[in-house]
Structure 1
């Protein structure tokens, strides 16, 4: 059928050709044999048409050649236009200092610079010769470097030589400015001592120039990379030492002893066991302190008494602690704990690995008159041992005059205790309460619903503008909607509302349906500017 359809236009053109006799054209649609006279005419017509085809073909070739010439001419003119437009580009007239600022912003957008030719600053030097010269002439582009070590290597000595050469070349371009170095060796095969020695020497050589230093290695490797602490590190402001062990380990590097670090303001240590008794650190200089663990919810990390260290941190503003079991707990007399006041602390974050008698004593001893943000998280898998955990509530009440942000993550506290505490926090603006499965605090939703009254003394957290809660699918949509509506019609109005539906009941998951119903109920306030996020939680 397709061949027949294609034949019809050709046949029509033949019938319209006046040079083809009618007697011959009538044979086109038949199976008749041409007569001898018609055959002679057909031979003549074929010769004429073949000659005509040659003429037309030659004309087509000339036309194609002319088209190709014009296309080449067009490409040439376009190339000249592009070159002329490039000459008029504003970037050619842009002052060097402006370009330098743009290059610096490229680094900020990329995050921590790495020796990757596809990212800034190395990528910038590949644009043109001028940019390459400018890139290498700007020391500020080369003051920060993140080196990611391979997890494994068949020849660590050679691999380390290459890494050290890259570090040396990169840092040499910083022209003596203070530098920030982040060295990260993820879990994998251990680095032999012979390969660590030259790296330790390189770190020691750069010691006087460090502004920030992060070492993320196994405890064994860290033990070989602390020689720099024995010399003066006058510019060091931030030091982070983190174990990269993939499994819990009682193996720890030696105590940190800083002989001279007059500029140190931030210290972060994350090991498997934090015995701080032999640490020699200028604690009074610190404004930020983080004492955490390298990783595990499957065991109870141990540490010495943090309070003796915190008592020396008189200028601390931010504190992040991991609380587990006490070292030498049987010999430690909890009654000897003395009160500690930290007058400058504004942010306190706690991760709890074990519930011990030390918890209550720790929170009772702390006084934080300027506390603005508090976060506590259950980092253990032993949910049952964390029920009824109220040890931190007295601290919150003592800080009620300044506390603005509160976050509970996987912490189970009875409704009565929670509501009693919240009633004493009138300045609270943001609250995240993600309780564990054992107690989802459904009564908290009704307690936070503002009644139609003008008596501020009877309201619970009247100044909340951000609220993040977790509940089960059994919670009524009406109760949740009533909470949001009451907060959206009062001043200050609720700005952000997050809700996680944690569980479903009776084997039927109704969470998607309830999320849809709740969005429909709150659409009026969403249209008015309220940010709402409703999700299903895995817990």
Structure 2
């Protein structure tokens, strides 16, 4: 059996420098790989391990030589490494950090010589690749002091996004102390920081105290059962950070209040809570963070609240999410909150109780402008009742609800008709987003949309539509006729459904960013 052998330069040299095979070589290489695989299959069960290993190595190396990614030139690789998607955070991941926070440039550079050269070229032009750092303490195999210094040097003067990841330990090595001293030298560049409530970690961060003039976002994590010994005094490393406006709490921070660092509560305008709450935690945070404009609360279990009330006078956006979908968990957090300035309410994966909602809205006297329901179990009758409570809503989002949540009754209640004796729901609605599979008919939907588009009142005429109904069968001519009318009125338009043959059809106008803006109902990170 004769296998293909590359000559001058050798196979390993080609792999190292990304020297691609000629077109005339590729066909021969593929045939040779098939021969090697057949030989390996024939040798299975025989005492020929040395030959099998050699053939397997041969297949691996030549497949790598033919890999499509090797055809990417350096300039394309550099664009991929610098693409914003690579650096963005994923809101629904358990650990919402950018890809490059986990796979640092030196890790990507270990893939091959070609990638390493590409990354070196990139690092000379931008600091983005080196400004997102995960600092692994008490884990010398994950990071070295030399590697940290190189990253900080290559980041130049760029804002730093830092995540400190210590393993719980009663003692810290001199290497850990040296690493913390090194990163604290650049504290004036810290913009986004994630820490745990480990007292020893906070003590090692103390050189940064009163030097966090650029810090904007702080994430504090604690395990469900804090194993730390409480410090003599709470850490004050984050007490003075004039630009700090966003706080994310993950874990059971306040179950051990002596472990929590001192925070500038009145500065926070955005608060994201991802914890297993009890009454004292909830009341403590909202009573201290009195200037919060946006509150995002994720619940892993149905929290128990006593009769403690919290009033947030500046709260404009409230996002409530329950991690366990459709387990019947009610949003009883609203029983203990008053938000007179509330403009936007998003409820995800929580059971809505109309009495709770009515009490909350009546107590707050808020003029709600945006209502979004996502993965929320609610019946059609209750949805109609809820919409009747919020006549000032201008933007309505109904996403991934149960099929019987939006029926002809709901759609007809939103239809503007001069002859109708019943008052129209949401008379000020100008933006409508619906996503999922529901029980209403196409005629009912089009009648509602056309009645809204024909409104002569600019305050109630639809301006933005994002309709994603993959299971709704609509005759193509009907959709085309409606789309032509809608495009003359609305600023952004998207309609996705299927025709009579169940073939997906989609009509849109406007830029993709328009659809993303009006259709955004993902829980924020």
List per-residue Cα deviations over 1:296-345 (Å, max 9, x = no partner).
xxxxx455531221012222112111134478x6xx7x13x1x3221111
- How far the C-alpha of 1:291 sits from its partner, in A, is 1.3
Does structure 2 retain, via aligned residues, the 8 Å contact 1:347–1:373?
yes
Gap regions ≥5 residues in structure 1 = 1-105, 127-140, 294-300, 380-385, 505-510
List per-residue Cα deviations over 1:449-477 (Å, max 9, x = no partner).
1122699x922111211111245364211
Alignment of 1:355-374 (within 5 A): 359-360=331-332, 362-374=333-345
2:266: which partner in 1?
284
Which stretch shifts more, 257-266 or 462-471?
257-266
Return the index of the structure with the highest Cα Rg.
Answer: 1
Alignment: residue pair count: 374
Matched, 1:240 2:218: yes
CA distance in 1, matches of 2:269, 2:219: 17
1:451: which partner in 2?
417
2:401 to 427, 436, 440: 436
CA distance in 2, matches of 1:144, 1:226: 28
Which stretch shifts more, 262-271 or 249-258?
249-258
Distance verdict in 2 for CA 1:237–1:316, change over 3 Å? farther
Distance verdict in 2 for CA 1:325–1:484, change over 3 Å? same
Q: 3-state SS of the aligned residue for 1:351?
A: strand
1:228 to 182, 205, 211: 205
Matched, 1:347 2:293: no
Q: 3-state SS of the aligned residue for 1:371?
A: coil
| TM-score relative to the length of structure 1 | 0.56
Matched, 1:498 2:480: no
- How far the C-alpha of 1:435 sits from its partner, in A, is 4.8
Does structure 2 retain, via aligned residues, the 8 Å contact 1:273–1:302?
yes
Structure having the higher helix fraction is 1
- How far the C-alpha of 1:408 sits from its partner, in A, is 0.9
2:68: which partner in 1?
none
- How far the C-alpha of 1:122 sits from its partner, in A, is 7.2
List per-residue Cα deviations over 1:425-470 (Å, max 9, x = no partner).
2321111022532643223212111122699x92211121111124
How much is the aligned-residue C-alpha RMSD, in angstroms? 4.7
- How far the C-alpha of 1:487 sits from its partner, in A, is 0.9
- How far the C-alpha of 1:407 sits from its partner, in A, is 0.8
Gap regions ≥5 residues in structure 2 = 1-81, 89-97, 106-115, 499-525
Matched, 1:160 2:144: yes
Matched, 1:477 2:442: yes
CA distance in 1, matches of 2:203, 2:217: 12
List per-residue Cα deviations over 1:258-305 (Å, max 9, x = no partner).
453251532333534443661332212211211125xxxxxxx45553
| TM-score relative to the length of structure 2 | 0.58
Matched, 1:310 2:293: no
Does structure 2 retain, via aligned residues, the 8 Å contact 1:477–1:517?
no
2:510: which partner in 1?
none
CA distance in 1, matches of 2:244, 2:344: 20
Looking at both structures, which has the greater relative contact order when contacts are Cα pairs under 8 Å and sequence separation is at least 6?
Answer: 2
1:138: which partner in 2?
none
- How far the C-alpha of 1:527 sits from its partner, in A, is 3.5
Does structure 2 retain, via aligned residues, the 8 Å contact 1:215–1:222?
no
Distance verdict in 2 for CA 1:197–1:345, change over 3 Å? same
Q: 3-state SS of the aligned residue for 1:460?
A: coil
1:204: which partner in 2?
184
Does structure 2 retain, via aligned residues, the 8 Å contact 1:199–1:225?
no
